[in-house]
Structure formats: structure tokens, C-alpha cells
Amino acid sequence: MSRTLDLARLDGDEQTDLAATIAAAGLVCFPTDTVYGIGGVVTPATAAAIARVKGRAAGKPLQVVYPNLGLLLAAVALAPVVARAARRLLPGPFTLLVPYPDGTVFPPPGAVEWPAGAGGAGGPPVTVRTLGVRVPDWPPSARALARLPFPLLGSSANPSGGSDPADLSSVAPGVRAACDLLLDGGPTGGVSSTVLDLSGLQAGRGFRVVRSGALGVVEVAAILAS
């Protein structure tokens, strides 16, 4: 049976034990600034559970949700131009596709294609391996998650192709039942994160929006130019 914790009303012991409680759970449903997600510690077992519950292909890339920007920058080796972009965009409603860090074993990389040459000019396409990362701007009721000492492997808390849930009660019953731990952070923004491909920044190719979400290309360009 799933255990539910109201993140806004954790007592002292629950606050202290939150990281251990999450680490011990096989699958967790949790709020972000955009929609509710499911996931857990970054392991193959968590990835398999997400794929099973959502009914999605096992090899489809998953995102890594970091509790805060400092932990992301300490854990993921980013080129200076990519790190600068991450500092401007995060925390916020974005999933960033960054070059897959050397030495990373899990999760497996995604892949994107860019035209060859700086600025995307000429030649056969270049395939770049990527890692999707997030640092949510946690809602006030869920700020406890910003203090976790480890990231979470995650995906939206809906069956594949289903609507993204804006609150815990909107998570499909089958998804809720599959989770060992339900973290209630109240309502979220309700619009999925904007997926930004930053894998071409170091080669001078700029960024591109892979999936529109909470913010569009105009807003992203303004943030990166600030």
C-alpha cells in the first residue's frame, strides 16, 4: 500500500528522514514546478519500474531531476558555455539536453542530430549523445525536495500518451497504486517542462526547442541573452 507524505506538513523526524524514505522506496510520485512525476533513485530498477508503470519503451531516455543547481553542476561536467546557460535557466520549468558526460554509465544516453559545421551549415548530420537534466523551481510547499543529497530519475506521472497531472489527485489510479511513496506538494503549474537542446552550444549551433512547454522560444532566448 502506498504511503502519502504531505510535504508542507512534515514533522521534524519526517523532514530529517525524507532522503532515506525516498531512497528506500521503489517508486515515488513527486511534485515539480510543472507537473507531477514518478521516479526514484537513479538505478536500472527505477528505470524498469517507470517503463512498466507508464507502458513506455524500456530504452526511451529518462530525465535526471537534480534537487538544486549546485548539485547538478557538481555532478555533471558541462562545457563553460553550457554551464552558463544552465545557470541562467535553472532552477526553472526546463528539461535541458546536454552532451552526455564522459564516464557516465547510467542512465543510457539519448541522441540528437545536428547538421555538420558551426552554425549548422553543410555536411552530413552529426549525432550527439545527450543527457536530459532538470532542476525544478520547487513550489513553496515542496521546498524540502531542494535539500535532497541525490538526484531522482524521473518521468511525468501519467501513462504513456496520457495527460500530465497538475496535482496528486489527478495522477491516474494505476500509477498511484504502483508507487510506494506519494509526495503531496499541492497543485503545480500544470504545464510540462520546455525541453531545450543545448547539445550544440559548444559548437556554436545555438539552442533549439524540442518540446514546447511552460515557456516558449522567445522567452528562452530572452533569458539566455540576459
pTM score above 0.85: yes
The residues, ordered by sequence, that sit 6+ positions from 48 with a Cβ below 8 Å of its Cβ are 58
Estimate to the nearest angstrom the gap between the alpha carbon of 34 and the chain centroid. 10
Bridge partners (DSSP) of residue 95 are: 134, 195
The residues, ordered by sequence, that sit 6+ positions from 17 with a Cβ below 8 Å of its Cβ are none
Per-residue pLDDT of the chain (226 residues; tens, 9 = 90+): 799 999 999 998 888 999 999 999 999 999 999 999 999 999 999 999 999 999 998 889 999 999 999 999 999 999 999 999 999 999 999 999 999 999 999 999 999 999 876 554 566 888 999 999 999 999 999 999 999 999 999 999 999 989 999 999 999 999 999 999 999 999 999 999 999 999 999 988 899 999 999 898 999 999 998 8
pLDDT at position 125 is 87
Would you say how long the chain is, in residues?
226
State pLDDT tens for residues 166-190.
Answer: 999 999 999 999 999 999 999 999 9
Calpha distance 211→213 (Å, rounded): 6
pLDDT at position 122 is 60
Give me the residue spans of the domains in the chain: 3-225
Give the Cβ contact number of residue 225 at 10 Å.
Answer: 7
The residues, ordered by sequence, that sit 6+ positions from 75 with a Cβ below 8 Å of its Cβ are 66, 151
Rg (CA), the chain: 17
Calpha distance 24→176 (Å, rounded): 17
CATH number corresponding to 3-225: 3.90.870.10
